[in-house]
């Protein structure tokens, strides 16, 4: 019964510590809300945020170029705006108002009209003279910091251009002409597609950033309690409460359990609150089988509470808590993928990240939230590692507490 009395005491103390409650509960919600507004998922809803912004400068402005722009505008992934001045379009690119600028030259229609079917078939070869937009008098300028994504975007634009000019070339070929719809048939098909889209029920979109940010921040802030837990131990040590408890007929294990359980329950509440707000505020799905979230949250909180106990027995001053605890939180979060998805890590860093409990928690969350068919073995192995980490940290903290006592 002594464990539950100590647990109740610390829970009451936590409710009196408003700063700790703000750190553990309010601050994560505030950051998640800010990210939700930044991605257009909360208050500032904007469907255009996930579309690729393309500025087109049409220097020829004839029927072919206008049909080409209209064909690109059909793609829901593109947000196209026009500009009559090249310098203004490039300035928008520098400001970050666009991801690409497409400049359609005055020889565009002539180049398109000259393409034949055999040339389109030969475009798969890299050394073919038409393998690239420049050969069609189209200049595509991409932001320099986009890297591989920019190269893929340029390739996609070239593919869309090939798609546009293939019917034009096919109508000039006696064999391929019968397989191509006439311009009138294409317009009728486009109108039918627009009618179907207007009748379709729009489904709420969830930003992929939130699909990663909510679990990442949940795991990171679950381990923020180690600072609060260590400070609670230090205050009771300075006030002499711990010494009086040790003089009472209370053994070490029930004492440490009573000190750990309140923070464990707080961490579980924090994780549940973050996922609940992610669902209510942003419509973030909980995966095909949400019940799997329960063991992952419980095991993640257990590992955070175990690490918090170990840190509490190692620090002696408030400065040590701030320096050791904050450094530990930031380093583990950076290594594990709480700041950046592990899928973007190099192979070596992916292996290094598995030495952190955060990475195993994120691995389990990814399986539950993002996979259509959940592999229970991945969830079970991740939870097993988290429980093992919690047990080792708790045992080490129990040993240090006995030695120090």
User: Which tokens sit at 80?
Assistant: 């196209």
Integer-rounded Cα Rg, in Å, for the chain is 30
* Domain residue spans of the chain: 2-41+207-404, 48-199
Element housing 207 (H / E): none
DSSP 176: T
Q: What percent of the chain has pLDDT over 90?
A: 29
- Answer whether CATH 3.40.1710 is correct for domain 48-199: yes
User: Which tokens sit at 400?
Assistant: 């240090």
Distance (Å, whole) CA 84 – CA 231: 62
User: Which tokens sit at 293?
Assistant: 């979230």
Task: Please give the residue that has the higher pLDDT: either 49 or 157.
Answer: 157
Closest CA to 50 of 71, 76, 32, 72: 76
Q: What percent of the chain has pLDDT over 70?
A: 83
Q: Is the pLDDT of residue 202 over 50?
A: no
Q: Is the pLDDT of residue 358 over 90?
A: yes
Task: Please give the residue that has the higher pLDDT: either 103 or 342.
Answer: 103
pLDDT of residue 300: 96
pLDDT in tens, 19-45: 767 777 777 778 777 776 766 655 555
Three-state secondary-structure class, residue 267: helix
pLDDT of residue 278: 79
pLDDT of residue 201: 45
């Amino acid at each position: 019964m002594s464990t539950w009395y100590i647990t109740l005491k610390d829970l009451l103390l936590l409710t009196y510590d408003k700063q700790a409650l703000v750190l553990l509960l309010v601050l994560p919600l505030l950051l998640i809300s800010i990210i939700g507004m930044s991605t257009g998922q909360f208050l500032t809803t904007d469907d255009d945020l996930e579309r690729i912004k393309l500025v087109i400068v049409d220097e020829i402005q004839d029927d072919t170029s206008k049909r080409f722009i209209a064909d690109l505008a059909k793609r829901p992934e593109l947000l196209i705006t026009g500009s009559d001045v090249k310098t203004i379009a490039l300035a928008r690119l520098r400001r970050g108002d666009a991801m690409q600028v497409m400049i359609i030259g005055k020889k565009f229609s002539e180049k398109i009209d000259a393409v034949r079917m055999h040339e389109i078939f030969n475009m798969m070869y890299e050394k073919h003279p038409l393998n690239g937009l420049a050969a069609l008098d189209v200049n595509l300028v991409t932001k320099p910091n986009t890297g591989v994504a920019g190269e893929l975007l340029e390739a996609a634009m070239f593919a869309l251009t090939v798609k546009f000019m293939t019917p034009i070339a096919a109508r000039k070929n006696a064999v391929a002409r019968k397989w191509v719809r006439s311009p009138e048939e294409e317009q009728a098909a486009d109108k039918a597609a627009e009618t179907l889209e207007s009748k379709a029920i729009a489904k709420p979109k969830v930003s992929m950033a939130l699909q990663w940010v909510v679990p990442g921040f949940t795991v990171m802030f679950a381990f923020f309690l180690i600072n609060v837990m260590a400070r609670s131990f230090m205050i009771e040590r300075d006030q002499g409460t711990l010494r009086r408890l040790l003089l009472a007929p209370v053994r070490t294990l029930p004492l440490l359990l009573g000190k750990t359980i309140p923070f464990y329950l707080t961490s579980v509440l924090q994780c549940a609150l973050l996922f609940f707000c992610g669902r209510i505020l942003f419509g973030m799905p909980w995966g095909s089988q949400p019940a799997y979230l329960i063991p992952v949250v419980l095991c993640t909180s257990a590992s955070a509470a175990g690490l918090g106990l170990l840190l509490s027995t190692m620090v002696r001053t408030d400065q040590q808590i701030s320096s050791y605890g904050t450094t530990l939180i930031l380093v583990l979060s950076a290594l594990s993928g709480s700041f950046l998805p592990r899928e973007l890590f190099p192979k070596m860093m992916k292996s290094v990240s598995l030495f952190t409990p955060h990475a195993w928690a994120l691995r389990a969350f990814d399986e539950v939230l993002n996979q259509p068919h959940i592999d229970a073995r991945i969830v079970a192995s991740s939870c097993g590692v988290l429980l093992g980490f919690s047990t080792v940290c708790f045992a080490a903290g129990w040993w240090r507490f006995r030695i120090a006592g």
